[in-house]
Structure formats: C-alpha cells, structure tokens
Structure 1
C-alpha cells in the first residue's frame, strides 16, 4: 500500500522518499529553515508498542524540542504520533505546547501510495473543490471530475474536509483516505521531467506512485 523509492536515501538529516513523512510545524519551503519543518529528518523515540483488543498493532512515537529545533524555531513542544496497523492504517498526530507562549503551526502527512500505473489511477472526492496549482505558479483553479495523472501534478485543495478514494485501474484496488482536523488535501506526482531532477527517485518510478497529503 505504501510506496518506498528504490533510490531512497537512508541518512541522518535527510528525508526518506517513502512512507508517510511528518511535516511540522510548517509545510513547504521557508527561507533559511529546513524544508517541510523540523521533524521530517529527525529520529523519533519509540515510546510504546502493544496489541489492542482487536489484535491491531499500536505504536506510540514521540519527539520534542532540543537545541537544534530551537535554533530554527524557539518554541517548546512535544509531538506524539500514534500508529495503528491492522486491516486499516491509522495515523494520529498530536501537538503538545510545553512552553509558556502560544504558537501557530501548519502540518501535513504526505502519504506515498503504490500504484500499478499512475496514468491509470484517479483520485476521487475532490470534484468541485478549488485548488492552488503549483505547476501553474499557484494559479487558483477548480477541480472538475476525478483527478487524473498525465503530467506533473502538484495541487493544494483548499477548504475541503472530504475523504478521498484512490482508484487504481491497473491493480483493481481502491484505497479510502479519511481525515480529521484537516481542511486541505495535497495531490502530487512529479511525472517524468521532474523525476529526472530528483536523486532519490529511480527511473520511471513516477508511474508506480502518487501522494495524497492530508
């Protein structure tokens, strides 16, 4: 279900092109600061592992501020990521402000999903939603029908709490993505030209994946 690039780099301080990275306390580029926040390239602590009453595996991961994070962002915090694995995969990210001052954040869970062929895959549930198209210099557009993939796709769908379906015609599989506490959805696939500029993606892997970020 989740995709891992064959060219992924497993190195301290670098993001891994795979799975579900955690972008926090900002998403995207901020001048002079790490891309996609402070915790995407850091080691998290495993704080608990158990089976729940239904036999699902429950992992509790955590990370808190330190000298490195405070050099970019002065606030004290503790993050907890609860991962539940069974017939479904559930991720719950909780922010704790452990300091005296209030702060604002943006966050994202950019999930990399496997596809049999992205050109034969659609994302449903966003029909009629407005989005900012990064490929068109953040032009404001409106979705008509399902999202399809025939070229580079990098869109931020705004003001939507809707769930999404990834319909993969090549494998006959449909994935349902539900969310809470999020009013936007990002859909991304680099396609062929951009993939060539990315050292952590192997040739033609863009046909095997897509991201739906909540």
Structure 2
C-alpha cells in the first residue's frame, strides 16, 4: 500500500504518508485536511492550535484546511465554506492525473451531498491529490462541474505554518503588490515594504502574486518556499494577541508560533461551465539554511537563480 490508514483517538480516519528519507504527513478524511508534516528530523512544519476542536462538525484550526466553495465570509455560506467540515472519501479514479505509483501519494474526493445542495445548489466533484517527497509536500486540487448549469466559487489552501517566533519571520515575494486589507474594510493598498514583517495583527489578500513566495524563519535558519499555480492570490494572516484571546479554538500564545500564508483564488472567482474542470497546484518545500545565516539569497529562491 502507498500509505497506511487507521482510526485515531477521536474516531477520525487518518492516513499516514511516509517516504524513504524519513519525512511524513498525516491526512484526515474529515475535511480532506493535512494535520501534520514532519521533516526527516521529525520536526513539525505545520502549526496546530493547542485548543483545536477535533470532533465534527467543528473545523480543525491548523494544518492545511481546504476552503471551498467560499473563502472567508465573502458569500452566504459558512466561514471558509463547507469542504473543511465534511467527510471526504478515497478517490479510486484520479484521472486525468498520471498514476501515483510511488509510496507517498493519496487521492481524495468530496462530492456534493443533498444537504450541501440545500445551501449551495450546485453539483460538483472536488478532488485533492496529496504527495510527499523528500523536503516537499505537494497538493493538487481539482474542481469539476457535474451540474447542468454554470457555477462559480472561490478557493484557498490555508497553510498554517509553524514558525519559531512570528516577530523574527519575514515573507518575501509580495513586495510592490496590491492587497485588500481585511482589517480596513477590504480597502486596497500597495505593499511598500521590501518584505513583510510582523509586529501586530495582519489579514491581507495579496493580488496577482508570483508563483513563488518565501517565508524566512531567522531563528530556525529555515525557509519555507511556497510555489503555486492556478491560484493567483495569497492571503497572509496572523491574529496577534488580542484576536488570539478572542478565538475559542486558539491558544492565547499560539499566535507567536504560527503564520498563515494561503494559496487562493479570491478576487476573481473561478467560473466553470457544465463538465469543465479547474485545477490548482501548490507545493511547500524547505530550504535548510535561511537568509539570516548568509547562505541563502531569497531572490535566488524566488526567481530560480540558485
């Protein structure tokens, strides 16, 4: 078998992906959500809230949830859509993707249910391939319209990244771009800084972003490179202290060791005609040394000059 599946303590089916160098990932069928990604040294690379709710129908705060068919509160559905609070299935027919013959991929599928059709009357198939390789975690989401009418949706992969100290982190690749500031009634601004650093709450949707974004963690001497296609927007979020205390499923101090940098389609929703399919792509990879160590020029990471 390319992976192992078992029932965890909360009764949720959990899939364990491993690869020969020793890294691992854990995926729940609940939400189709990655809840752990560890490197070869068994260090956790994803953030998980200390107060996360692990039982349906609550969402699980942390890991990589899938936001579909709505991101945030930009519509009439529940916050971030319903895909993250549904039980997905293993997908026996992942075509037209090439076969995943290696030891570390799993294909999941979510189809519209009668309950979903009451709140969002559109028939869909949402597929997600999750692949693990040395130093890299890849996600390929696909949405197919199996309805007889056109529909549109917004989408995001919400990457909760584990960081050493949020005040020591910088994000590069978004400079000079326009963004919507959700803390300022979605007013539009242009990023003036040469890198995003953190000293307070942030909730921004960056627009027309590059295919590569670097999250540089000085203290851990580690850079996470987010590479994406088909998802032109990027959300950067950290609740900081006051918001963290107000969120019931987040620890008061959790904001210090987390950062969300999301691959997203928000400004211009995806429109699918009957039987059309949209495909996105995201991979997260680790560069062992950081800009702070003097061994890595983030421009080389972002623009492929290394």
Measured after TM superposition, the shift of residue 56 of structure 1 is: 4.9
Deviation string 1:71-93 (CA, Å, 9 cap, x unpaired) is 11111111100000122000010
Matched, 1:62 2:109: yes
What's the counterpart of residue 217 of structure 2? 168
Contact 2:70 2:77 in 1 (8 A): no
Match of 1:36 among 61, 66, 80: 80
What's the counterpart of residue 274 of structure 2? none
Mapped to 2, the partners of 1:130 and 1:119 lie a distance apart of 23
Mapped to 1, the partners of 2:74 and 2:155 lie a distance apart of 13
Contact 2:203 2:238 in 1 (8 A): yes
Measured after TM superposition, the shift of residue 161 of structure 1 is: 3.3
Deviation string 1:117-173 (CA, Å, 9 cap, x unpaired) is 011001110010011111122221111211111000000001223410000011110
Contact 2:211 2:229 in 1 (8 A): no
The higher radius of gyration belongs to: 2
Label 1:123 to 1:30 Cα distance change in 2 as closer, same or farther (>3 A): closer
What's the counterpart of residue 197 of structure 1? 246
What's the counterpart of residue 106 of structure 1? 154
Measured after TM superposition, the shift of residue 199 of structure 1 is: 1.0
What's the counterpart of residue 257 of structure 2? 208
Contact 2:109 2:127 in 1 (8 A): yes
Matched, 1:131 2:175: no
Where 2:214 maps in the other structure, the secondary structure is strand
Label 1:32 to 1:141 Cα distance change in 2 as closer, same or farther (>3 A): closer
Aligned residue pairs, count: 212
Tell me, which stretches of 5 or more residues in structure 2 are unaligned?
1-44, 93-98, 264-306
Mapped to 1, the partners of 2:179 and 2:188 lie a distance apart of 6
RMSD: 1.7
Mapped to 2, the partners of 1:57 and 1:84 lie a distance apart of 6
What's the counterpart of residue 17 of structure 1? 61
What's the counterpart of residue 89 of structure 2? 45
Contact 1:4 1:17 in 2 (8 A): yes
Mapped to 1, the partners of 2:131 and 2:207 lie a distance apart of 27
More strand by share: 2
Measured after TM superposition, the shift of residue 31 of structure 1 is: 5.9
Deviation string 1:86-108 (CA, Å, 9 cap, x unpaired) is 22000010001111111111100
Q: Which moved more, 1:123-132 or 1:154-163?
A: 154-163
